[in-house]
Chain A
Amino acid sequence: MINIMIQLLGAFLAIFGLSIIVAVPKKYLWLTGLIGAIGWGTYLLMGNFTESMYLSNFMGALAIGLSAQISARIFKLPVTTFTIPGIMTLVPGSGMYNTVYYLIAGNELLSREYMIQTLLNAGSIALGIFLMGTVFTLVFSRRKKHEYEDVI
């Protein structure tokens, strides 16, 4: 239990910091951190039900997509303001690093393995965000077709 609390707090702080780097406005920093923690929590929770890292990432991305879409509509901001910081704990940055690391270190087999894993993980996350975006566009955009859609 304490371990999970540390993990969630770590995710919140990491995303809080990353949001500062990508210049999210100050008053939304807590929200991007919270969305990141929700995504990371979902990812950890899915670990109890499935062995598949891809499915866990996909569900995490769905949770981030949902909370980001709701936040974007409440605060009338572009939805990427919340999705991009939100996915920053899930995205396979270290996988990308390991792919190139082992390629240069001369271990092609391991490099290839990391590459496939990285692409599938990135694909799962992109699919989750994309799917949630499509659902929200279908549900909400029909009513106000003539307005400027600032949150897509």
Chain B
Amino acid sequence: MTVINYDNRTKELFNTAILAGELLAIYGAETYRVEETIIRILALAPTGRGEALATLTGFSVSFDSNKSGYLTAVRRVNYRRQRFDKIIVVNEISRKLCSGEIGLTEAHEKLNDLKTEKDKTKGHYLAMAIICLSFTVMFGGNWQEALMAGLAGIISAIALVLLAKNDTGTFMSDIVASFFIALVAYIGNYVGFSEYNMNLAIIGGIMPLVPGVAITNALFDTLHGDYLSGAARGLEALVIALGIVLGIFLGLGLCEGLGGGIL
């Protein structure tokens, strides 16, 4: 049996590279940024060659150090969310590491700190209300529709934050969030508004959820040559849209079923 001894420094470099890649993948960076960051950090080793292959749902890295054999890691990325503040910090750390401004140990520690840091969702409720309100007005809605869409936005944001705490997948949380949007928009029919179009309030309310960026990123990745990620993002967009439609159907179905009795 041969015992392979990696020197500690190579091991730490490798760990830093996969940690940076994992953080980027979790926080919704583009596929090529994940790959490039890992390869650049591994290129800091004096000898050997690093390679990374990333898709939307995970990545694998291998490092061929000439004297002591291969190092390999696979990371599965289950729960992704778009957070630019984190992407910017990882990018900064990796840039400083590669230009020699900070050492390897310091970079590794900073990345670890970032991983344990909790996501801040403080401004989300107000932001969701503003988004839904603005989109409804842009689509030609009046103040009544905009008001109900804004309300629907706040309620769906509360649902999304609560569900994210329990690690529910995006599919289920989209169903629940859009269910509440349909509910709030339907109630608008019964509070004495004079010119109220429920469909406009629904469209405005679901605008923060709809997978427009996902489908555009799918085509962007495909143009970039990342065919696997492109196809995966296209499917992701389809599943998100399916979740929203199911939620709306459920909500409206329930309301119309109860409509004769309660409302």
**B207 in complex: contacting residue of A9, A25, A93, A147, CB < 8 Å:** A93
Say whether A92 faces chain B, with CB atoms less than 8 Å apart: yes
Q: Is the CB of B219 within 8 A of A22?
A: no
Contact A129 B241 (CB under 8 A): no
CB B84 to nearest CB in A, in angstroms, measures: 5
Q: Does A53 contact B (CB under 8 A)?
A: no
Q: B87 contacts which chain A residues (CB < 8 A)?
A: 78, 80-81
CB distance from B121 to the nearest CB of A (A): 9
Residue of A nearest to B98 (CB): A148
Nearest-CB distance from A139 to chain B (Å)?
19
Which of B61-69, B128-136, B186-194 lies at the interface? B128-136
- State whether B220 touches A91 (Cβ < 8 A): no
On whether the beta carbons of B245 and A97 are closer than 8 Å, the reply is yes
Are B84 and A93 interface neighbours, CB within 8 A? no
Task: Give the number of chain B interface residues (Cβ < 8 Å).
Answer: 62
Chain A residues with Cβ below 8 Å from B223 are 126-127, 130
How large, as a class, is the contact surface on chain A?
35 or more
Interface residues of A in 86-135 (CB under 8 A from B): 87-89, 91-97, 99-101, 104, 118-119, 122-123, 125-127, 129-130
Bound-state Cα–Cα, A127 to B219, Å: 8
Interface residues of B in 224-263 (CB under 8 A from A): 224, 237-238, 240-242, 244-246, 248-249
Where chain B touches its partner, the secondary structure class is: helix
Residue contact A25 to B85, C-beta cutoff 8 Å: yes
B215 adjacent to A92 (CB under 8 Å): yes
B82 at the interface (CB under 8 A from A): yes
User: Interface residues, chain B, CB within 8 Å of chain A?
Assistant: 28-30, 32-33, 36, 40, 82-88, 91-92, 94-95, 98-99, 119-120, 123-124, 126-131, 133-135, 137-138, 203, 206-208, 210-213, 215-220, 222-224, 237-238, 240-242, 244-246, 248-249
7 A-B contacts (beta carbon < 8 Å):
A10-B134, A23-B120, A96-B237, A97-B206, A100-B244, A119-B219, A126-B220
Task: Report, nearest first, the 8 A-B pairs whose CB atoms are least far apart.
Answer: A93-B212, A91-B212, A93-B210, A20-B127, A17-B131, A14-B134, A126-B219, A17-B130
